[in-house]
Amino acid sequence: MPEMTLIEAVRQALDEELARDERVLVIGEDVGRRGGVFRATQGLLEKYGEERVIDSPLAEASIVGVGVGAALYGMRPVCEIQFADFIHMAFNQVVNEAARMCYRSNGEWTLPMVIRAPYGGGIGGGIYHSQSVEAFYAHVPGLKVVIPSNPKDAKGLLKAAIRDPNPVMFFEPKKGYRLIRGEVPEGDYSVPIGPAHVSREGTDLSVFAYGMMHHYALQAAAQAGAEGISVEVVDLRTLLPVDRQSILASVRKTGKALIVHEDNLTGGYGAEVAAILAEEAFGDLDAPVMRLCAPDVPGIPFSHAMQEWVMPNPQKILGAIRRLARF
Amino acid sequence: MPTPITMPKLGESIVEGTVARWIKTEGDAVQEYEPILEVDSDKVVAEVPSPAAGTLLRILAREGQSVPTGSVIGWVGAPGEAVPGDETGEPAGAKPPAPAQAVRAGRDRELGFISPVVARMAAEYNLDLRLVKGSGEGGRITKKDVQAYLDAQKTNGGPQPWELPADGDLFRPRELDSAAPKPPEPPTLDDPAQDRLLPLDPMRRAIAEHMAMSMRTAPHVTTVMEADLTRVTEHRRANLEVFARDGAHLTYTAYVVAAVAAGLKAFPLVNSSWSDAGILLHRRMHIGLAVSLEEQGLVVPVIRDADGLSLLGIARAVNDLAARARTRRLRADEASGGTFTITNHGVGGSLFATPVINQPQCGILGVGAIQKRVVVIDDMLAVRPMVYLSFTFDHRVVDGYTADGFLRTVVKALEGW
């Protein structure tokens, strides 16, 4: 199997889907001539032409709005929001139009579109280029919310998202774009939207994470393993619909849960996982459910030291693992 | 419903307690958490708070009586309320409550925090959680502890049935409730007029068990050196008042503790414990001080992180711990967790001794009486305050080389004060 970076896997998925299905099109800021600010769409304009790889104006509401219209006309648009931080301008189109179309039309119209957005901090991007926005959309029935943590899943999940008949929010951990490498199967494959993945088996406690934090959680778990703490790591992969069964099965085994995300604590996705455990696995808990998240500050700071303070990292995760194991 | 007052567990591995004194008498009104009686474990005297507000309805265990931890020793409730057991005329006191009462998740007065899964497993397997040893934070019983207990039960063929043919009563025989051995037959006295049997109090029994266990466990070797305390004596004389102004009485013991910390730092292997898996090195230095309670026995309060304290800090800790040890006001956790022990046998005039190791530590330092002796310095006779230091070590862990190196460092620290 060839090894590649996460961003290469995204590009391959787009390339292969554009080749496979002529209804697929890519639209976003700088996705054409520039090949995307992160090079996710590099070479696609030359290959598939201006009608299928479309440079949009700097107007996120129109990127998604055009996508909604195109999808209703039978196309399969992949809208790129350059940074997840800019998606707020398109919130109305996503929530009021895209998410509700199938429901509003009693299932008569589906809306096959994907909204890709790089998210997350730790890259020195400051307030406008570091946000995590998954919790906003994981709250909206009618959407699917997917966050891959490695190249294989990124490619497979993006293909599944493009082939899905309804809107999928596809958030990519941008710090991991070039940092996270991994093997990717050859040929056409997809990874189903929905199931979480137990990426490391363990017996002492469960860590639930996704995206970049899953990558860090694996590192922390390996270190904890060297200290004799057996950590199970669950990559949630799909936040909506949530894979309750995998979450519950893991905690029924270990009795302890730590949820890690880089989005801030209050109202974050971890609260949902914690609530599921409290409601459905209360009798299996051997310790309070623990969350390790960014603190509730209005934005990821630009200063390196302050950014480090805000962001969870393997060391902080290891600290939380030790505390929970000790309990 | 009246609330039972139970014998608290005053420390790990403590299976019974003695009622030292009832502060309240039957019929007294009590507030919740108001001290209601004092109990005596082998190491400490502790006040027991009332579990509820109301009236002390019944005292079941009289002063001086020893009962297993968890036993009901009294009842608190509304005035005139009936107390369970009264109507059946069962004998008062020393009766453990029925096992496997439903334990609910949350804070438990006796067992600490009970997690939901532990509560559920206890109910499912009808477990008496008091029999499960906790390994979690603060001794909390974890899911793993329950699982380990269940597994052990399985291999032991499960618990004995409650009803043994011999007793037929629906309560668990006391000896099944804890690992407490059967009381041995009292020796026959040849001549009751001449001999007398002293009953064992909990402290005597604990000391006896610990000393015998230590001698059985570790090969003891004692090495002795002497130290010239001239500089310590001078320093102490010069600083007694300064320390007194800071509220501390500067004792020789404080200097010995500081010197031992220096020795442990130079020879970390001495600050350790033997285990079959390997030698457990302790990074932190918790130094215990044997404090005599005269004929009543002795206690070993522990100075935590002694290496991080100044001489003033050590002196304060020594004053405080020794004073409270003598009045038996130590908290249970202040007399445990030591990594090394110092015993001051010199207070009784002893010059050198072969102290017994306080398990599971590696060594114990005996400090003899300070005496002015004639010593030879530079081929001249001099009169110096001298002390013998007897260091007993676990020969499984260290050899004479390390032991003597450690002791020499202690001597140097004292002589070069």
Per-residue pLDDT, averaged over B252-270, amounts to: 95
Reported as a single tens digit per residue, the pLDDT across A3-53 is 999 999 999 999 999 999 999 999 999 999 999 999 999 999 999 999 999
User: The CATH number of the domain where A107 resides is what?
Assistant: 3.40.50.970
Domain B1-96 adopts which CATH fold? OB fold (Dihydrolipoamide Acetyltransferase, E2P) (2.40.50)
Cβ-based contacts of A251 with chain B (< 8 Å): none
Chain A interface, mutation test: which of B107, B115, B145, most A Cβ atoms within 10 Å? B115
The reply to whether A230 and A293 lie within a common domain is yes
pLDDT at B370 over 90: yes
Per-residue pLDDT, averaged over B85-92, amounts to: 48
- What torsion do the CA atoms of A173, A94, A208, A155 make, to the nearest 10 degrees? -50
Cβ–Cβ contact B146 with A under 8 A: no
- Residue with the bigger pLDDT between B14 and A15: it is A15
The pLDDT of residue B296:
79
The reply to whether A158 and A210 lie within a common domain is no
Whether A139 is a known active-site residue: answer no
Cβ-based contacts of A287 with chain B (< 8 Å): 115
Confidence of residue B42 (pLDDT cuts 50, 70, 90): low
The reply to whether A23 and A171 lie within a common domain is yes
Q: Is residue A54 part of a domain?
A: yes
Chain B interface, mutation test: which of A286, A323, A324, A326, most B Cβ atoms within 10 Å? A286
Reported as a single tens digit per residue, the pLDDT across B202-242 is 788 888 988 999 999 899 999 999 999 999 999 999 999 99
The reply to whether A303 and A213 lie within a common domain is yes
Cβ-based contacts of A282 with chain B (< 8 Å): 116
Using CA atoms, how far apart are residues A259 and B403, in angstroms rounded to an integer? 49
Q: What share of chain B has pLDDT > 70, as a percent?
A: 85
Q: Kindly report the nearest CA distance between residue B104 and chain A, in angstroms.
A: 11
- How many Cα atoms sit within 13 Å of A268 on the Cβ side? 20
User: The CATH number of the domain where A219 resides is what?
Assistant: 3.40.50.920
Which of A158, A183, A208 marks a domain boundary?
A: A183
Using CA atoms, how far apart are residues A288 and A255, in angstroms rounded to an integer? 9
The reply to whether A219 and A292 lie within a common domain is yes
- What torsion do the CA atoms of B198, B201, B204, B206 make, to the nearest 10 degrees? 140
The pLDDT of residue B183:
54
The reply to whether A172 and A218 lie within a common domain is no
Would you call B137 and A284 a contact, using CB atoms and an 8 Å cutoff? no
Cβ-based contacts of A326 with chain B (< 8 Å): 136-137
- Residue with the bigger pLDDT between B185 and B67: it is B67
Q: Is residue A191 part of a domain?
A: no
pLDDT at B2 over 80: yes
Q: Give the number of domains in chain A.
A: 2
Among all residues of chain A, which has the CA nearest to that of B136?
Answer: A327
Contact B43, B201 (CB under 8 A): no
pLDDT at B171 over 70: no
The reply to whether A154 and A208 lie within a common domain is no
Q: Please give the model's pTM, rounded to 2 decimal places.
A: 0.55
Question: What is the ipTM score, two decimals?
Answer: 0.78
Q: Kindly report the nearest CA distance between residue B135 and chain A, in angstroms.
A: 9
Chain A interface, mutation test: which of B103, B117, B141, most A Cβ atoms within 10 Å? B117
The pLDDT of residue B63:
83
The pLDDT of residue B94:
40
On average, the pLDDT of chain B sits at 83
Q: Please identify which of the residues A88, A129, A197, A214 carries the catalytic annotation.
A: A129
Q: Is residue A160 part of a domain?
A: yes
The reply to whether A294 and A170 lie within a common domain is no
Would you call B115 and A287 a contact, using CB atoms and an 8 Å cutoff? yes
What is the CATH code for B99-176?
Answer: 4.10.320.10
pLDDT at B174 over 70: no
Query: Angle A211-226/A314-326 helices, nearest 10 degrees?
Result: 60
Q: Is residue A188 part of a domain?
A: no
The pLDDT of residue B334:
86
Reported as a single tens digit per residue, the pLDDT across A255-287 is 999 999 999 999 999 999 999 999 999 999 999
Domain map (residue ranges) of chain B: 1-96, 99-176, 205-415
Would you call B115 and A285 a contact, using CB atoms and an 8 Å cutoff? yes
Would you call B137 and A283 a contact, using CB atoms and an 8 Å cutoff? no
The reply to whether A80 and A155 lie within a common domain is yes
pLDDT at B411 over 60: yes
Among all residues of chain B, which has the CA nearest to that of A325?
Answer: B136
* A contact set with B (CB within 8 A): 255, 282-287, 326-327
The pLDDT of residue B185:
65
* Contact pairs from chain A to chain B, CB under 8 Å: 28
The reply to whether A155 and A275 lie within a common domain is no
Instruction: Point out the residues of chain A with pLDDT beneath 70.
Output: none
Which of A151, A183, A215 marks a domain boundary?
A: A183
The pLDDT of residue B85:
64
The reply to whether A14 and A140 lie within a common domain is yes
Show the domain range for A94. 3-183
Would you call B136 and A327 a contact, using CB atoms and an 8 Å cutoff? yes
Per-residue pLDDT, averaged over B133-159, amounts to: 83
The reply to whether A13 and A119 lie within a common domain is yes
Which of A130, A153, A183 marks a domain boundary?
A: A183
Closest in A285, A326, A327 to B117, CB measured = A285
The pLDDT of residue B112:
82
Q: Which helix (H) or strand (E) holds B408?
A: helix B400-415
Would you call B117 and A255 a contact, using CB atoms and an 8 Å cutoff? yes
Q: Which CATH number fits domain B205-415: 1.20.1440.130, 3.20.20.100, 3.30.559.10, 3.30.930.10?
A: 3.30.559.10
Would you call A285 and B140 a contact, using CB atoms and an 8 Å cutoff? no
- Residue with the bigger pLDDT between A39 and B111: it is A39
Q: Which helix (H) or strand (E) holds B299?
A: strand B298-299
Chain A interface, mutation test: which of B107, B124, B137, B142, most A Cβ atoms within 10 Å? B142
pLDDT at B287 over 70: yes
Reported as a single tens digit per residue, the pLDDT across B298-347 is 889 999 999 999 999 999 999 999 988 888 788 877 888 899 999 999 98
